[in-house]
Every structure is written in C-alpha cells, then in structure tokens.
C-alpha cells in the first residue's frame, strides 16, 4: 500500500510525543518509586537515573513486542487492549506487594537493630550488664536487600503496559507504513523514558534537599509504603 500522507504522519508523531509525556507524568508509578527508593537506598543520582532508564525501556519494549505480535497475527485492537489492561492490574499489584514487603522488611530490620541489655552474674556474686544488638556481624540485612531492589522494579515495569502506544502502532501498521511505525515507536520511547528521567531527577533532588527530621530513621519504611500507595493509585484510581 501507499505510505500515509505527510500530514497524517506528522499528526501521528505529534500524538505519540504528547501522549507519551502525559501518560508518564500523570502516572505516579512512573517516577515516585524511583525517587523514594533512590533516597532510601542511598543511591546516587546517576544510579537512580540508570535504574529508571532501564525500567523505562523495558516498560515500552514489552508493549512494542505485544503490538508487533498483534500486528503479525492480525489480532483485533480490542483484544490487545484487554491484554494491556490485565497487564496493568498485574503490574500495579506487584508494585503494591513489593512496597509492602519492603516496608515490612525495613520495619523488621529496625527492630532487630535495636540494642537491648544483657545482665550477667558471676561466680563471686558480682553482676554487670551490657548493650547488645543483632545487626553488624549477625545479619548484614542492609547489604542483603541492596541488589534486589533494582531487579524488583525492573520486573514490575516489564509487566507494566503503555496503553496509549498500541493504538498508535496500529495506524501505520494497517497501511504497511513500516518506517512510520518505527518512527512512532522511537518517538514514544524517547518521550516516555525522557519524561521519566526528568521527573525522577527533579524529585530526587527535591527529596535529597528535604529535611525529614524524625522520619529519617524510618525512611525505608516510608519508602516501601509510598511505593505501595503509588501501585494502589494505579490499581484503584487509574492514575
């Protein structure tokens, strides 16, 4: 078939850019988990943005793959929309589960790290007491969770769909405009990942400069609960 007119192509690319940015900035799950986890885990801005970028790429790539399979098999758009909706629920549920599990782990770690007093009585009748904690050489729990967090976020975003992308892919695919299809995917990916990186960078700097006072000691717990809340906002409010 003939390629789509230039005006239609320009409109499609513009729609891809605007929808990608709006979809990303409105979706609290696209930025908040990375901001609070970067703060709680003590990541540098560079590492936080690296994790964000990797998750953003797999986030878009999974929908691109499903869209291409749908195009190749001639699957109707409404069926793909149903699949993307189901993936969204799974992703949000995983985010809630991860956040709650992280908060529970952090709370357990804080209690295990509290010092308590042991009282000893010697044979001569003298007694003494000393403080003792269960962190340090006993648990190393902080190191245990250090590498798991990025992979957990990566898994969540692998399931997370880009609902706006597949309908945009179908327009050039119907007319065999494969160059335009590639351009739509490229523009959508660029603006999605770029918006994620910009939002996370701003949030990271703001949260790093914020004085949390007494909440600083519970930053891990608060981070987990915030991640769970962002998942709940997606699952129940559609944000």
Least confident window among 59-68, 146-155, 188-197: 146-155
User: 2 in a domain, yes or no?
Assistant: no
Indicate the DSSP class of residue 27: -
Contact partners, residue 51, CB within 8 Å, separation at least 6: 34, 38, 43, 150, 153, 154
Handedness of CA 201, 19, 239, 160 (dihedral sign): negative
Q: What is the pLDDT of residue 5?
A: 58
Q: What is the pLDDT of residue 113?
A: 58
Instruction: Give mean pLDDT, residues 93-111.
Output: 92
User: 195 in a domain, yes or no?
Assistant: yes
Residue 16 — very low, low, confident or very high, per pLDDT cuts 50/70/90? very high
User: 33 in a domain, yes or no?
Assistant: yes
What are the tens digits of pLDDT across the range 161-218?
A: 888 899 999 888 877 788 999 999 999 999 999 999 999 999 999 998 887 777 778 8
User: 123 in a domain, yes or no?
Assistant: no
Contact partners, residue 71, CB within 8 Å, separation at least 6: 169, 170, 173
The four Cα atoms 18, 6, 186, 89 give a dihedral, to 10 degrees, of: 50
Closest to 62 in 3D by CA, of 149, 155, 153: 155
User: 153 in a domain, yes or no?
Assistant: yes
Least confident window among 101-105, 108-112, 118-122: 118-122
Is the pLDDT assigned to residue 76 strictly greater than 80?
A: no
Residue 125 — very low, low, confident or very high, per pLDDT cuts 50/70/90? very low
- Rounded CA-CA distance 68/61 in Å is 10
Q: How many domains does the chain have?
A: 1
User: 128 in a domain, yes or no?
Assistant: no
Burial code of 67-106, b = ≥16 C-beta within 10 A, e = fewer?
Answer: beebbeeeeeeeebeebbeebbeebbbbbbebbbebbebb
Is the pLDDT assigned to residue 33 strictly greater than 50?
A: yes
User: 221 in a domain, yes or no?
Assistant: yes
Mean pLDDT score across all residues of the chain: 84
User: 183 in a domain, yes or no?
Assistant: yes
Q: From the DSSP assignment, how many helices (H) and strands (E) are in the chain?
A: 9, 2
Q: What is the pLDDT of residue 126?
A: 42
Q: Containing domain of residue 93, as a range?
A: 10-111+137-237
Least confident window among 44-53, 78-87, 144-153, 192-201: 144-153
Closest to 37 in 3D by CA, of 125, 80, 101, 130: 101
């Amino acid at each position: 078939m003939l390629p789509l007119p230039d005006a239609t192509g320009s409109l499609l690319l513009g729609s891809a850019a605007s929808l990608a940015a709006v979809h990303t900035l409105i979706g609290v799950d696209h930025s908040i988990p990375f901001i609070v986890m970067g703060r709680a885990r003590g990541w540098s801005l560079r590492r936080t943005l690296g994790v964000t970028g990797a998750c953003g790429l797999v986030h878009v790539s999974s929908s691109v793959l499903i869209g291409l399979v749908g195009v190749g098999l001639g699957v109707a758009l409404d069926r793909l929309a149903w699949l993307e909706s189901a993936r969204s629920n799974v992703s949000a549920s995983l985010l809630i589960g991860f956040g709650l599990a992280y908060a529970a782990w952090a709370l357990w770690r804080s209690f295990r790290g509290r010092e308590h007093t042991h009282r000893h009585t010697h044979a001569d009748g003298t007694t003494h007491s000393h403080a003792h904690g269960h962190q340090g050489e006993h648990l190393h729990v902080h190191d245990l969770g250090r590498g798991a967090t990025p992979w957990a976020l990566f898994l969540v975003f692998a399931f997370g769909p880009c609902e706006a992308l597949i309908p945009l892919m179908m327009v050039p695919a119907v007319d065999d405009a494969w160059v335009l299809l590639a351009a739509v995917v490229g523009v959508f990916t660029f603006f999605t990942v770029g918006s994620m990186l910009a939002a996370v960078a701003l949030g990271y700097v703001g949260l790093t400069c914020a004085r949390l006072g007494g909440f600083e000691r519970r930053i891990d717990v608060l981070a987990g609960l915030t991640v769970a809340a962002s998942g709940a906002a997606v699952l129940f409010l559609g944000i």
